[in-house]
Amino acid sequence: LDRRLPHPGVDDEIGRLVDTLNRMIGRLENAFEAMKRFTADASHELRSPLATIRNTIDVTLEQARTPQEQEAALRSVGEEVDRIRSLAEDLLLLARADSGRMVMQARPVDLAFIVEAQVEARLPQAEEWGLEVQVGPLIHDEILGDEGWLHQVVSNLLSNAIKYTPRGGKVLVDMARTPQALQVIVSDTGPGIPEEDLERIFDRFYRVDPSRTRTRAPGTGLGLAIAAWVVAEHHGTLRAANRPEGGATFTVTLPLGAAHA
């Protein structure tokens, strides 16, 4: 259904007003469509872990006799509950971001400390999964930003690199500086990302065909959407690419602090 107003076809004030109104209606329709899609996708994502929980409970009530079987069932339910919880947290965060209620601070932040802390936090997990983490020279310089949110960006990228890289692989973390910006580059020796998906992986709920990427922990499909939103709020960019030698590379570029302007 086209809700736009008929264009009188005259290039006068009324014509221009109709054009403006049509553009506004178009934008509202797009926003409404996006909201509908988001709600539908979110419900779909919640249904699958809930169905697993229901099924596990039914099977356990009927068949699990030994304490070991019951424990295994409880563990499985626990994992699904964790999944629902992280999905709920991510959804809440994006809803707040959409409504403009999320306040970003703009304080001087040393990005290298964030990178260091996040690498340290992820090392045990990488080790457990047989991955080597290589960190290049860190560049201590200040950008203006929100420390908490920047931690989240680096955390999401590292977590993906670890999640999608097969045992024996490497996760590489580097920093670079351009005259106006500071970069954090997270690469891995995993399967990389199909060229046609390089843009779409930043969309909410979008995941590359799971049969092409073996993953250790199911995600929500929201991590990169959140990271991209945070980086955009910082007037920076977040890009995905494939390394010529294989594996994915994510580059965060953030403008240097006011001291350099």
Binding residues for ligand ADP (CB under 6 A): 156, 160-161, 164, 188, 190-191, 193, 201, 207-208, 213, 219-225, 248
Residue with Cβ nearer ligand ADP (221 or 236): 221
Cβ(168)–Cβ(162) below 8 Å: no
| CA–CA dist 122, 27 (Å, integer) | 41
User: Which three-class secondary structure state does DSSP give residue 115?
Assistant: helix
At its nearest, how many Å lie between ligand ADP and the CB of residue 64? 30
Cβ proximity to ligand ADP, 115 vs 201, nearer residue? 201
Q: Give least dist CB 69 to ligand ADP, A.
A: 30
Q: At residue 230, what are phi and psi to the nearest 5 degrees?
A: -60, -45
**Count of alpha carbons within 13 Å of 10, Cβ hemisphere only?**
5
Nearest distance from residue 138's CB to ligand ADP, in Å? 21
- Burial class of 227 by CB neighbour count within 10 A (0 to 12, 13 to 18, 19+): buried
Task: State how far the alpha carbon of 59 is from the alpha carbons of 37, 52, 62, 180, 215, in Å.
Answer: 33, 11, 5, 59, 26
Q: How far is the CB of 147 from ligand ADP (least distance, A)?
A: 21
Q: Is 255 helix (H, G, I), strand (E, B) or coil?
A: strand
Gap between the Cα atoms of 192 and 161, Å rounded: 10
> How far apart are CB 42 and ligand ADP at their closest, in Å?
14
Do 143 and 256 meet the contact criterion of CB atoms below 8 Å apart? yes
| Chain residue whose CB lies nearest ligand ADP | 219
Alpha helices for 104-215 (secondary structure H): 111-128, 147-164
CB-nearer residue toward ligand ADP: 73 or 248: 248
Which of residues 141 and 250 has its CB atom nearest to ligand ADP in the complex?
250
Q: Nearer to ligand ADP by C-beta: 172 or 248? A: 248
Of 87 and 256, the one with the shorter C-beta distance to ligand ADP is 87
Q: Which is nearer to ligand ADP, 73 or 201 (CB)?
A: 201
